[in-house]
């Protein structure tokens, strides 16, 4: 039985991690760390854990935490803060899965430009494994530090990765229009996220400058360079024209008045005519052995069919008239986009079946 701890335990992602981990058959939660709620009982903040093994847990302050007593630590903290904590934890024997943006880039010039924060631990960023399992399974298994991907990024990359090595795809034409539920903004109190501000409304925000734009584009181009020992069957470096097919991605996120879920609609031009059968084969080759990615052949996915689960669903429509491909990718932002993906990474690190603790279906209706 492995011992795992959570730093940043009382945010939305931390709570989802607890919910998954306390039902996991192979791990035991060791310590729960919270800056804002140290010393309080977990069940006083989150009564849903009464009667569970977490019933008597008291939240700890960071200074009282002994990292050496854990086999793995999840850090669910804001960017900038997380890199300092991970720097303190590194070398103390525990594996680390970080859910911030601090270790997702090996190129720290990109990180510092988009996040506006100086990176203090370039040596850790250089060794961190990018935690999208379907892309980087073999590196994750061996990693001491895993950088869990962003939620928008997960939905977007799962949708576009099978197309990146498709010789007919125009990689300069990718447009991602993505919608997220309010939980994606975190638990802190913000006026623009109040019920009366979001209910019966919808808005775009940070078009072209959202931080996840850089992550989607960076990982896509690292993939094209052969950075990952990928299981994706469609990737063949010999199919890539050197320098000519660098992906350029325009990304616009939207806030929609639901609690959880992401729907990404992706538009991609094709340089040559194709067919729905040919494109379906690409997606099936990429994901036919992936338990948590479901390719829909005859319908488009909806958030309600994945909310509460670790599954992603992908569908598409090819418009022959305009030679454009429309891909729709949906995930639960709190699960496959955060906590569920982190547990999937943990399972890989410890050699457990990837679906351990993650078999729940969607909460429908």
Asked if residues 300 and 326 have their Cβ atoms less than 8 Å apart, the reply is no
Distances (CA, A) of 314 to 262, 297, 305, 343, 361: 12, 9, 11, 21, 16
Asked if residues 219 and 153 have their Cβ atoms less than 8 Å apart, the reply is yes
Query: Looking at the whole model, is its pTM more than 0.75?
Result: yes
Backbone dihedral angles phi then psi of residue 109, each to the nearest 5 degrees: -60, -40
Q: Which domains does the chain have, with CATH numbers?
A: 2-148+338-350 (3.40.50.720), 152-331 (3.30.360.10)
Asked if residues 130 and 228 have their Cβ atoms less than 8 Å apart, the reply is yes
* Active site members: 151
Per-residue pLDDT of the chain in tens (365 residues, 90 and over written 9): 999 999 999 988 999 999 999 999 999 999 999 988 898 999 999 999 998 888 889 999 999 999 999 999 999 999 999 999 999 999 999 999 999 999 999 999 999 999 999 999 999 999 999 999 999 999 999 999 999 999 999 999 999 999 998 989 999 999 999 999 876 555 555 655 555 565 667 778 888 899 999 999 999 999 998 898 776 755 454 454 444 468 999 999 998 987 799 999 999 999 999 999 999 999 999 999 999 999 999 899 999 999 999 999 999 999 999 999 999 999 999 999 999 999 999 999 999 999 999 999 998 77
- The separation between CA 23 and the C-alpha centre of its own chain, rounded to angstroms, equals 21
């Amino acid at each position: 039985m492995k011992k795992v701890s959570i730093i940043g335990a009382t945010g939305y992602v931390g709570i989802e991690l607890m919910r998954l981990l306390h039902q996991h058959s192979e791990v035991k939660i060791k310590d729960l760390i919270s800056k804002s709620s140290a010393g309080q009982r977990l069940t006083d903040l989150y009564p849903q854990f009464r009667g569970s093994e977490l019933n008597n847990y008291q939240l700890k302050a960071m200074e009282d935490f002994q990292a050496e007593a854990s086999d793995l630590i999840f850090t669910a903290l804001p960017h900038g803060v997380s890199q300092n904590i991970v720097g303190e934890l590194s070398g103390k024997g525990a594996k680390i899965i970080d859910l911030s943006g601090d270790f997702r880039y090996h190129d720290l010039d990109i990180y510092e430009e988009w996040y506006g924060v100086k990176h203090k631990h370039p040596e850790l960023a250089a060794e961190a494994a990018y935690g999208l399992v379907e892309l980087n399974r073999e590196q994750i298994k061996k990693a001491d530090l895993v950088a869990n991907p962003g939620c928008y990024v997960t939905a977007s990359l799962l949708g576009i990765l099978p197309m990146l090595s498709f010789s007919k795809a125009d990689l300069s034409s990718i447009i991602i229009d993505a919608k997220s539920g309010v939980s994606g903004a975190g638990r802190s109190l913000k006026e623009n996220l109040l019920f009366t501000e979001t209910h019966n409304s919808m808005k775009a925000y940070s078009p072209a400058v959202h931080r996840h734009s850089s992550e989607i584009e960076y990982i896509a181009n690292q993939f094209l360079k052969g950075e990952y020992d990928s299981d994706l069957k469609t990737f063949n470096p010999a199919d890539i024209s050197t320098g000519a097919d660098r992906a350029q991605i325009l990304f616009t996120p939207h806030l929609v008045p639901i609690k959880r879920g992401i729907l990404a609609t992706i538009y991609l031009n094709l340089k040559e005519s194709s067919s729905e059968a040919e494109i379906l084969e690409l997606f099936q080759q990429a994901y036919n052995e992936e338990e948590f990615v479901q390719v829909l052949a005859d319908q488009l996915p909806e958030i309600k069919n994945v909310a509460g689960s670790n599954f992603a669903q992908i569908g598409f429509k090819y418009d022959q008239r305009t030679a454009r491909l429309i891909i729709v990718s949906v995930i639960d932002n709190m699960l496959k986009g955060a906590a569920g993906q982190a547990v999937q990474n943990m399972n890989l690190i410890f050699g457990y079946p990837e679906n351990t603790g993650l078999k729940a279906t969607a909460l429908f209706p």
